[in-house]
Amino acid sequence: MGTPEFAKESLRAIYESGEEIVGVVTTQDKPKGRGMVLTPSDVKKYACEVGLPVYQPLTLKDGAFLDTLKELNPELIIVVAYGKILPKYVLDFPKYGCINAHASILPKYRGAAPIQRAIIDGDLETGVSVMKMDVGLDTGDVMLIEKVSILENDNFEDVHDKLVVAGAKGLLKAIELFKKGEEAFTPQGEEFTYADKITKSDCVIDFNCSVKDVHNKIRGLSPIPLSFTKTPDGKILKITRAHICDKDIKGEAGQVVLLDGGIYVKCLDGVIVLDEVIPEGKSRMGAAAYINGRKISVGDMLK
């Protein structure tokens, strides 16, 4: 049961390992693009390519999926970023229950945006936790964890791609443990944090913060949904790539202090260099091109 690319790669790994997959459950096709064309999920696309049966229930509530479960009779249900809450009758149906691959080192970052929050918080590692699902939100007992490092300049996409590999690897290990009868689960304990869904307010850059915090926000939200600031004319300037300057330059927080191939902006305790931007109403461009268009000057305040 899954929907986006993250889930597709787990499905691919399980399918290519030779396991018998009795069915694939994903969300409804959604309208996308300017033409609002109905588009299947990444999971559905892959399942159809390899000939796996696909199910797209409108709801799982009130036993709506029970007859299908009885028909398929799965021994184990694997859930990766499905997008719907599983009712108790689904959780309890398979012989071995339901397991979930969650993109954090549980019990840290339960919830909707664990990858972004880990980068924004400056964590040096994250991982995929394979857990036994229960009725809570990412509260189940943990079976195993596959850890990955977060490097200094890794952005959301970089870490996501590492976790895609780690998630598939962890699920294959979990399946083998079930087959050998060696599965074991550890309760998460009382100390936990939530990774709330990213909102527009989370994307606003505050240059009164430390340069490391500003950098973490920019890379944690790139390439989607992107952090942003506003230029003196009030237009939004989205930031796709930046790095920390190795020298300090005097100025006020939010002030453009140098234009030299990049946009050097003063933060609370250092300088962040904006390397690539998306000006309001424009396409992605290198900072040098933006500077050459004379859209910004030394002394300008970004806020």
Q: SS3 string of the chain?
A: CECCHHHHHHHHHHHHCCCCCCCEECCCCEEECCCCEEECCHHHHHHHHHCCCEECCCCCHHHCCHHHHHHHCCCCEEEECCCCCCCHHHHCCCCCCEEEEECCCCCCCECCCHHHHHHHCCCCEEEEEEEECCCCCCCCCEEEEEEEECCCCCCHHHHHHHHHHHHHHHHHHHHHHHHHCCCCCECCCCCCCECCCCCHHHHECCCCCCHHHHHHHHHHCCCCCCEEEECCCCCEEEEEEEEECCCCCCCCCCEEEEECCCEEEECCCCEEEEEEEEECCCCCEEHHHHHHCCCCCCCCECC
**186 falls in which pLDDT band (50, 70, 90)?**
very high
Residue 103 has a pLDDT of 96
For residue 293, pLDDT beyond 90: no
Higher pLDDT, 2 or 247: 2
Dihedral (Cα; 154, 157, 158, 160), 10-degree rounding: 120
Per-residue pLDDT tens over the stretch 88-119? 999 999 999 999 999 999 999 999 999 999 99
For tokens 């806020």, the residue is 303
> What whole-number distance in Å separates Cα of residue 269 and Cα of residue 280?
28
Residue 248 has a pLDDT of 85
Question: Can you list the domains of the chain with their CATH numbers?
Answer: 5-180 (3.40.50.170), 200-292 (3.10.25.10)
Phi-psi region of 26 (alpha: psi -120 to 50; beta: other; left: phi over 0): beta
Per-residue pLDDT tens over the stretch 237-253? 999 999 999 988 999 99
Lowest mean pLDDT among 112-116, 126-130, 216-220, 292-296: 292-296
Residue 276 has a pLDDT of 98
Residue 171 has a pLDDT of 98
Backbone dihedral angles phi then psi of residue 261, each to the nearest 5 degrees? 80, -20
Per-residue pLDDT tens over the stretch 51-64? 999 999 999 999 99
Residue 105 has a pLDDT of 97
User: What own/partner pairs with CB < 8 Å and gap ≥ 24 does 248-252 have?
Assistant: 252/301
195-212: average pLDDT:
97
Backbone dihedral angles phi then psi of residue 145, each to the nearest 5 degrees? -130, 130
Average pLDDT, the chain: 96
Residue 92: CB partners within 8 Å, gap ≥ 6?
none
Residue 217 has a pLDDT of 98
Residue 2 has a pLDDT of 97
Residue 233 has a pLDDT of 93
